[in-house]
A and B are shown apart, each in its own frame.
Chain A
């Protein structure tokens, strides 16, 4: 069984060699983790049995000598999944509308007498609701008028047709005045006797609007924004170059990437978050070869999801000053072009 060191070396380097600390290690704390990258193995691929002779993997940089040692950092991409169904685009919505209209034309007309017996309350309700509804009729004299006119947005109502359904659906349980009075009196009697009264019809409240208050105010700290999109946590570093990044820190002691990511999240955003880490493998990595004193940096991105709670940056030990929950498009504007180029494909489109 290889040790954790060896396993990480195997994952990150194609030329496992002895762990080398840099010669000028007086400025680095001893607890930091390093991986060595010997440039000789890149020049001579046959030295490594894992590399097929004659094929140099194109992701091994061979134009410029890489730093001999890399420090390993773990970064957390923590996201909130969409809470609502996605918003349909204009073309998609009109395509679905077109298919529904074709379906209307291909169906036999509604057989009212089969479902509603003549003279019943439900039949009366049907007449009241359906006659009033402005509706396309595939069997009437205007059956040809099945197309959307230019500028007609009837098929893209904001509540996804909820109010139309409420207005036109026959429940068979609609109260008349006399039944409502009887029910109120029965409830009063039960209350006087001290008994529990069960209301006959279940009252279903109207669903909340798709746009929340935080969404209208564009409160990027809130998790109730952009409900149909995925939100990612970004933090602002306090150092001389203020920039937005995913939370990130170097591994310490014998941590593995997953443990390092969990600790990073705790250090950055506090413990008031119910999170779930997706698997133990990173979803991407970035290698920094620009360095001082011959030490590079390898950042591994770990995936996590927030289930409840909120980020809290007070007294964080990573020197962060602010946080935001952003969508992919907003991230592109906030982080630099270079950083986004690295993380772009780790983020889902929606």
Chain B
């Protein structure tokens, strides 16, 4: 699986023939290539190391080879890097390699069913409820009220999204998944954090980001400025792939698993749940080479499922349709 590492690319001088054909279209049109094979001589017989071909003495480079600039020097610079979707870009990541099963299932079956289940008929001429009362205004009693942002509602930093009538355009869908793992042992030994990062990376297929502690908490032995957590955010096909391996492989094998708490959610359509180290080890990407991870360093993790639903009820309905079990009172 290709890892998404922003800013790096293996397309340096390694891939001469590919780089010669610069600015390839990223479509399947290369079936009918116009490259003239007869004119291309075979490379001379020489021993080339597979892993580092550039180290061979006397290696001949192509006469001209486009290499994207290493740094982006702003929009006014005459040399602009190619788009990240061009194969010669340093940021290019080849994908996708196949259709995602759960994603297809969502667009074919789940979305039409969710639309039918959550649709509420509004007769013509229906006037939607006015939700402007949620937006308070600054009363202008202070000079500093000028040019201030929107005044938040009492007790919240932002107003909750207003409910909208269901249409075919706003059926709740999966917008992303964030995996988060806070490793307290990383305060003593950074190896724990590296292992946690590798675990998240191999589960999601996306590079993990390290987070530092913001404050000192004596009870948790936290010191500010120390790296203590890793997160990994995935979206699109990768998110659907993670979801299907979670539902089909991992959850059925967790012993005495009750499900996700019915009261989970942040009221705006994002559902959270967590796993212990035992459950994380059940992911096929971890299980296949569990011995490669240092003993007792596979962490537990939190999963946040981001959906486009504007309330938790619809988000949970979406997750239930994908096969996530819930327990307890649904809130």
Partner of A148, one of B18, B31, B120: B31
State the total of A-B contacts with C-beta under 8 angstroms: 118
* Chain A residues closer than 8 Å to B109, beta-carbon distance: 81-82, 230, 348
Whole-angstrom distance from the CB of B3 to the nearest CB of chain A? 10
Q: Tell me if A40 is interfacial: C-beta within 8 Å of chain B.
A: no
Most buried by B among A14, A52, A99, A146: A99
B143 at the A interface (CB under 8 A): no
CA distance A108 to B105 in the complex (A): 34
Which A residues from 267 to 285 make CB contacts under 8 A with B? Answer: 278-279, 281, 283
B39 within 8 Å of A by Cβ? Answer: no
The reply to whether A281 and B33 form a contact with Cβ atoms under 8 Å apart is no
Beta-carbon contact of A98 and B30 below 8 Å: yes
Is B98 at the interface (CB under 8 A from chain A)?
yes
Bound-state CA distance A144–B112 (Å) is 46
Closest chain A residue, CB of each to CB of B289: A115
Residues of A within 8 A of B38 (CB): none
Nearest-CB distance from B266 to chain A (Å)?
A: 26
Q: Known: A103-B2, A105-B18. Contact between A281 and B116, CB under 8 A? A: yes
Q: Pick the residue among B43, B48, B118, B124 that contacts A51 (CB under 8 A).
A: B124
In the complex, how many residues of chain A place their beta carbon closer than 8 angstroms to a beta carbon of chain B? 50
A83-91, A182-190, A315-323, A333-341: which lies at the interface: A83-91
How far does the alpha carbon of A139 sit from the alpha carbon of B48 in the complex, in Å?
Answer: 9
Q: Are B17 and A85 in contact (CB under 8 A)?
A: no
Which residue in A94, A99, A141 is a CB contact (below 8 Å) of B96? A99
Q: Is the CB of A10 within 8 A of B31?
A: no
Given A11-B121, A50-B123, A109-B50: A96 and B10 within 8 A (CB)? no
* Residues 93-118 of B at the A interface (beta carbon under 8 Å): 94-99, 101, 104-105, 108-109, 112-113, 116-118
> Which residues from A are CB-within-8-Å of B96?
96, 99
In the complex, are the beta carbons of A348 and B27 less than 8 A apart? no
Bound-state CA distance A185–B2 (Å) is 46
Report whether over half of chain B's contact residues are helix, strand or loop; otherwise say mixed.
Answer: loop
Beta-carbon contacts of B70-99 to A below 8 Å, as 1s and 0s? Answer: 000000000000000001000010111111
Does chain A have a CB within 8 A of B9? yes
**B30 pairs with A281, CB closer than 8 A:** no
- Quick check: A102 and B87 within 8 Å, CB to CB? yes
Cβ B31 vs Cβ A94 within 8 A:
yes
> CB within 8 A of B116: which of A11, A102, A108, A283?
A283
- When C-beta atoms are compared, the residue in chain A nearest to B43 turns out to be A141
Q: A148-B30, A150-B32, A281-B116 are in contact. Are A82 and B108 (CB under 8 A)?
A: yes
Tell me, yes or no, whether A95 is within 8 Å of chain B by CB.
yes
Q: Does B11 contact A (CB under 8 A)?
A: yes
* Interface status of B126 (Cβ within 8 A of chain A): yes
Known: A100-B94, A150-B31. A348 touches B112 (CB 8 A): yes
Known: A50-B123, A103-B97, A106-B94. 19 other contacts (CB 8 A): A10-B123, A11-B123, A50-B124, A86-B108, A91-B28, A95-B27, A96-B99, A97-B28, A102-B92, A106-B2, A109-B50, A139-B53, A141-B43, A144-B17, A144-B40, A150-B31, A278-B117, A279-B116, A305-B113
A residues sitting closer than 8 Å to B (CB atoms) are 10-11, 14, 48, 50-52, 55, 57, 59, 81-82, 85-86, 88, 91-92, 94-100, 102-103, 105-109, 111, 138-139, 141, 143-144, 146-148, 150, 230, 278-279, 281, 283, 303, 305, 348, 350
28 A-B pairs within 8 Å (CB atoms) are namely A11-B121, A50-B125, A52-B125, A59-B124, A81-B108, A85-B104, A94-B31, A95-B27, A95-B28, A96-B97, A96-B98, A99-B94, A99-B95, A99-B97, A102-B92, A103-B97, A105-B18, A108-B10, A108-B51, A141-B43, A143-B17, A144-B40, A147-B31, A147-B35, A148-B30, A150-B31, A279-B117, A281-B116
Q: Which 7 A-B pairs have the closest CB atoms?
A: A95-B28, A94-B28, A102-B94, A144-B17, A103-B94, A279-B117, A139-B50
